Amino acid sequence: MTEVSRPFVVNGVPVEPAVDPATPLLFVLRNDLALHGVRSGCGIGACGACTVLVDGRPERSCQLPVSAVAGREVTTPEGLGTPERPHPIQQAFLDEQAAQCGYCVNGIVMTTAGLLAANPCPDPATIRTTIQTHLCRCGAHQRILRAVERLAGRASPSSVETLRADEARNPARAAVRARGPGRANDSEPAHDVGSDDLPGPLRRARNIEDWLRQLPDGRIEVRSGRAELGQGIRTAFAQIAAAELGVPVEQVVVTSAATDGTPDEGYTAGSASLEQGGAAIAMAAAAFRRRQQAGLPPVGPIHIDDRPRWSGGPIGQPVQRTDLPRKLTGAPAYVHDMAPPGLLFARALLPPTYDATVLETDLAAVRAMPGVEAVVQDGRLLLVVAAREEQAVAAVRRLGRLTRWDPSPGPPPNEGSVGRQPVHQVVVDEPGVGDALATGRRVRASYAKPYESHGSIAPSSAVAQLDADGVLTVWTHSQGVYPLRRELAALLGEDEERIVVRHVDGPGCYGHNGADDAAGFAAVAARAVPGRPVRFQYSVRDEFGWEPYGPAMRADLEASLDESGRLRGWRHRIVTDAHTGRPHGSGDRLVVAWLREGGPARPWPGGGEGGVRGAEPIYEIPARHIVAEYVPGPLRTSAVRSLGAYFNTFAIESFMDELAEAAGADPVEFRLAHLSDPRARHVLEVVAERAGWRRRHGPSGRGQGVAVARYKGSKAYVALVVDVDVDTDTGAVVVRRVVGCCDAGTVVNPDGLANQIEGGILQGLSRALYEEVPPTGTRDSLDWTTYPVLRFSDVPAIELVLVDRPGLPPLGAGEASTPVVPAALANAVDDAIGVRMRSLPLTPDRLRARLEELDDTEAARVLLP
């Protein structure tokens, strides 16, 4: 019989839940009292997402049994304010737009409430120390700190400047204006939809009604197939549609991606949401308005002449995100918060290694446990479903104790690649490279990066339900509902039309994390309990142990300089694991597929664009040869934010500094001498001027580094200057300031763009300073205690300049700032102490190892005391 816990008070209301006193307070608050503002995070007290106040003091609710709060007062985010009436603390976070995915923020708000109650005017050091134990993975740290500073009475001025490009420097804009927005007043333009000039999404969904419809209350619904991942695209899409429709942005409602209601836009990835999805919405809105102005129903084909104007109305305005009031005041906002009637909870017992097999287990003992509704074994797949979340957790823990595994390695890593040679990919092969490298001054260098985790703030989750008609509905924070549906159909042997996949917001993913896998487990669990909704969630160790990692990479570069110091030839060889293992309909891309009896071997995705992304330098070089070797490694890999561009830009921009020194040139001047793209030159010149760059040759002791790139060669331009100090006793790198300049074409929402650029910078710093997964195959980095990341104490001052080019299409910017970070950082370290770091991350251990391996030439330029 369940022992009833003693009463306590929650948000001023006495409660006495009928639960086992050992039940974690987190589960009681969320599942019994429907207080979902207490976010479910790591479950080990390390991330802070579940923080509440207990008698006014911040506590991690995942670590408190409900018996520990008997007779005490608990305050949750809902006890502070509501979306309609936020508490002043919540309002300060909203005013600063201090979130991206927002999943971490409620816990930080509660800690801030406890701090300010005890000390209404804390100094900056106290603020950082107090929230130091909270994790934020999206990179909203600077905004969060500003929000707390505002509450302490020290409002900070904006560190973001918008620089409007003039007509003289932007002739393309004048051409767009001369052409105009298209034939907006014609009922039927001359050009039909067959043109290749249409954005990709419009080639698959060609009619106005695929994208927009008028609701009964007069508002316009925008049906986007893109996923909101914390980048604020719902708000940006509303601004784009409102500008073309000529209505207030409040009159536009943007829906979430769903296979039963929105176009198939594939994956929300590659920084293509505004550039492709936004362009499709803009053209659909222009067509909608054209038809309305002609007195015709707003339906039918979208035409090539329905060109977006990319200016006017709310375009260029810092419209606040429409999703944040719910997310930052404790309202249910994520798939983890879904609680449909009759909800059951599922957990999986995963093997200790990729290939471990079950020797023995005792399913009957687990089935007899309180609340257990189903136990599934299918080969190596072990899954429990229970009435309560704590019962599911207890059941899978006991199942773990009762199960013995054969940990032998079994098949070689990536069995699907056995017998296959590495994939060889030629990116650029221009004539004369050999001759160019054989003459002039030749410079060589090699660079490396390790495997990395996505490190989402909360483990992946999904909800699934198999209805009486045999239709499976899955709610997921996947980046691609249509590709996931195809994968689930192949996995389960079902017709695609009998599966519905709907996107619900989740914690930030930063690429292909465990969200799709969680959906696969949820689908299998739902089939075990037909008619009942089931929410599956990974544990933090499951997420870290089984997600697809960012690949390890190596680059060998060589170049030659002529007598004047100009580049003559360039060779770049990349060795990398696979970057693109996302589901696509083959039925073999999800963890659950590999575990089932007779399931497919874990495949190796092989080559693709990901490993060579960013491998072509933006500089004018007469002869170039760029190749990649894709090699299967020991760990499962796929896309992490910016894919290969993160490492390739690190290698290229570090090498450019080395070449500048060999040429006797200043790093900025050397880059400008090889840059013909005026927009690339502009961002570099602006950032150098704003950062107070001083001309130099070789290490100066100042600790300032620069890097510039255009993401994917077609998206936003970003240049950074990073200022660092290096502690010569400990080897620690301290980043003091980052100055950035971004040109992303038309700036739809300057605050939203700044948030993305800031977040990419901070995530890039985290990866460049701390993050790595050992390539052991045993997945040793299994939670936040073994996978260090950027903390609030590490956050530098960030100053941004956004170049706005009204009338030009927006360029993808979500991943654009991350790739330039590690090179700017490594170049700054070299400038500070004269030690060239070529392997990431730039940890003290790596710095010490680098010092030990310096040759005489390298040692002669060291500036250590």
How confident is the model over 833-851, as a mean pLDDT? 96
- For the ranges 125-139, 195-209, 587-601, 781-795, which has the lowest average pLDDT? 195-209
Q: How confident is the model at residue 432 (pLDDT cuts 50, 70, 90)?
A: very high
Q: How confident is the model at residue 2 (pLDDT cuts 50, 70, 90)?
A: low
Q: How confident is the model at residue 414 (pLDDT cuts 50, 70, 90)?
A: very low
pLDDT(179) > 80? no
**What burial class does residue 359 get, using C-beta atoms within 10 Å of its C-beta: 0-12 exposed, 13-18 middle, 19+ buried?**
exposed
Quick: pLDDT tens for 706-727.
Answer: 999 999 999 999 999 999 999 9
What pLDDT does residue 521 have?
99
For 387-521, strand residue ranges (E) read: 404-406, 423-429, 441-449, 461-466, 472-476, 499-503
pLDDT(477) > 60? yes
Extents of the domains making up the chain: 1-157, 188-325, 344-409+456-544, 553-859
Q: How many CB atoms lie within 10 A of CB 401?
A: 10
Provide the sign of the torsion angle of the four alpha carbons 364, 370, 372, 378, taken in this order: negative
How confident is the model over 498-511, as a mean pLDDT? 98
SS3 690: helix
384 bridge partner residues:
347, 375
In the chain, the percentage of residues whose pLDDT exceeds 70 is: 94
Q: How confident is the model at residue 429 (pLDDT cuts 50, 70, 90)?
A: very high
What pLDDT does residue 175 have?
34
What pLDDT does residue 158 have?
83
Cα dihedral value 198, 200, 201, 207, nearest 10: 30
pTM confidence score: 0.95
- Contact between 19 and 2 under an 8 Å Cβ cutoff? The reply is yes
- CATH says 344-409+456-544 is which class? alpha beta
* pLDDT: which is higher, 292 or 194: 292
pLDDT(412) > 70? no
Quick: pLDDT tens for 52-106.
Answer: 999 999 999 999 999 999 999 999 999 999 999 999 999 999 999 999 999 999 9
What pLDDT does residue 176 have?
34
Question: Mean pLDDT over all residues of the chain?
Answer: 93
Quick: pLDDT tens for 283-302.
Answer: 999 999 999 999 999 999 99
What pLDDT does residue 190 have?
36
52 bridge partner residues:
59
How confident is the model over 422-430, as a mean pLDDT? 93
Same fold, 1-157 and 553-859: no
1-157: CATH architecture: Roll (3.10)
- As a whole number of angstroms, the distance between CA 735 and CA 831 comes to 13
- For the ranges 163-172, 404-413, 483-492, 500-509, which has the lowest average pLDDT? 163-172
Tell me which residue of 353, 346, 371, 351 sits closest to 361, measured CA to CA.
351
188-325: CATH architecture: 2-Layer Sandwich (3.30)
- CATH says 553-859 is which class? alpha beta
Where is 711: in which H helix or E strand? none
Biggest CA-to-CA distance, the chain: 87
- Contact between 326 and 83 under an 8 Å Cβ cutoff? The reply is yes
DSSP state of 843: -
The number of CA neighbours under 13 Å toward the Cβ of 606 is 10
